[in-house]
Amino acid sequence: MKKILAAALCLTMAVGCLAGCGDKNSAGSKDDAVLKIGVFEPTTGENGGGGKQEVLGIRYANKVMPSVEVGGKTYKIELVEVDNQSDKTAAVTAAQKLVSSNVVAVCGTYGSGCAIAAGPTFANAKIPAVGCSCTNPQVTLGQEYYSRVCFLDPFQGQVMASFAYETKGCKTAAVVTQNGDDYSAGLGGYFKSAYEKMGGKVVANKTYNTNEQDFNALLTDIKKQNPQVLFIPSSINTASLIIKQARDLGITAPIMAGDTWQNATIISTAGAKNCNEVYYSTFFSATDSSVQDFVKGFKEYLNSDKQNLTDNGDTDEIASVSALGYDTYMTIVEAIKSLDGEVTGEKVKDALKTVNYKGVTGEIKFDENGDADKDVAYIETFKDGKMQFVGYQAADGKFTAAK
């Protein structure tokens, strides 16, 4: 009798394994009611502030659209979140964890370096990743499984060079970038190249090291050159330090940067008075009439939980990276909706190629490299202790002031 019971138990376990095991990137073979989407973001480390804001946008999108119908069948969408720690080595480990979790697609990341490092891991597992704000060209170059909803650094560098030289009339510039950081070095280089082609002169080209906090010597050298503008693409933490130290040294020239500076904590840390004449390019403006439903809903979401506000920099102001996180999730869902039958990473990757989604950051469709087609950037500034929309800047120099 015991032998019969043991044999029956083994048979039951075998059948259970056959029912539950299969293609690790196939939703139907694991749990017919659930699809898993990975959230690959830094919530600690140098880029933790921006990463948390992207996560908030992704979580809100999941709240708005918690399920998807594929081939007449409804699936609940479950988010699997990992912290890549703003570190390239940790990013690979985090990516491997998502692969092991059987996600069919990935949102993220904030920070181009981590996206570049993890790209091969996702590609080897045939899992598509859609970047939110990782703007370095290397993220998608030669990476069939990586795409993104944001504009690229060559475009952003051109836009900010146009804003500095054409719109603000600054004919000399200092460029400051972080050693070993793909985003900072890349964007700084694109700005410098575009600025010089316009006729501008870069009178100082400086670098600093990761986690450096004292910029006084660097800024003192820059002050001697008397540039009319400083361009400093950096993390949020560095921005707060370098803005204050520049103003404390008596540097009054406009200070400009890229999308990472759209964060209210810079104002509170650097000081509101020090943030006058600070400008940055970004992907989204909450004043756009076409996005007011999103603005209303996301603000309600932020204010519904104290931790949400904390993660957003103790404010309910909407960062562009949150809007990009929202659009990234929705774009992936749009691709999944177009499928019929089994959902796999490879099928989602192919479906993303034909997506045409009207997002809160603009129309999203991908070119042959997986890059979003964008032709204008928003320019914002810090004024009266708040982030304020200045206008739209095109790469060709055309500027349209905010109304």
User: For residues 139 and 119, is the Cβ–Cβ distance under 8 A?
Assistant: yes
- The reply to whether 217 and 299 lie within a common domain is no
Q: Is 19 domain-assigned?
A: no
pLDDT value, residue 391: 93
Domain assignment present for 325: yes
Burial call 218-229: b when 16+ CB within 10 Å, e when fewer = bbeebbeeebbb
Asked if residue 101 belongs to a domain, the reply is yes
Q: Determine the Cα–Cα distance for residues 383 and 379; give it in Å rounded to an integer.
A: 13
Collapsing DSSP states into helix, strand and coil, what is residue 38? strand
326 in the same domain as 230: no
Where in the sequence is the domain holding 66, given as residue range(s)?
31-151+290-372
d(C-alpha 112, C-alpha 50), whole Å: 12
Task: Render pLDDT for 11-37 as a digit per residue (tens, 0 to 9).
Answer: 343 434 333 343 444 444 444 589 999
Query: Residue 36 domain-assigned?
Result: yes
Residues 6+ apart with CB under 8 A from 224: none
* C-alpha 209 chain-centroid distance: 22
Assigned domain for 225 exists: yes
**Tokens encoding 268:** 């509170």
pLDDT score of 30: 43
Domain identity same for 173 and 73: no
Whether residues 194 and 63 share a domain: the answer is no
Residues 185 and 333 in one domain: no
Q: For residues 271 and 212, state if they share a domain.
A: yes
The answer on 390 and 250 residing in a single domain is: yes
Q: Which one, of 60, 42, 67, lies nearest residue 301 by Cα?
A: 60
**CATH number of the structural domain spanning residue 112:** 3.40.50.2300
Do residues 367 and 385 share a domain? no
Shared domain for 302 and 271, answered yes or no, is no
Give CA–CA dist 364/150, Å, rounded.
Answer: 9
6 lies in a domain? no
Would you call 26 exposed, middle or buried from its count of C-beta atoms within 10 A (0-12, 13-18, 19+)? middle
Query: pLDDT per residue over 186-213, tens digit each?
Result: 999 999 999 999 999 999 999 999 999 9
Same domain, 77 and 159: no
pLDDT at 373: 86
User: For position 32, what pLDDT does the model report?
Assistant: 59
Q: How far is CA 155 from CA 160, 162, 301, in A?
A: 9, 10, 32
Residue located via tokens 């809007």: 323
Instruction: For residue 163, count other CB atoms closer than 10 A to its CB.
Output: 25
Please give the tally of structural domains in the chain.
2
CA distance 234 to 212: 12
- Partner residues linked to 278 by β-bridges: 255
* 376-383 and 386-394 strand pairing: antiparallel
In a domain, 81, yes or no: yes
Tell me, what's the pLDDT at 330? Answer: 98
pTM for the whole thing? 0.81
Whether residue 109 is preceded by a cis peptide bond, meaning omega within 30 degrees of 0, is yes
Residue 85: both structure tokens together: 């720690």
Same domain, 61 and 175: no
User: Is residue 69 included in any domain, yes or no?
Assistant: yes
Same domain, 180 and 196: yes
Residues of the chain with pLDDT under 50: 1-31
Distance CA 71, CA 343 (A): 10
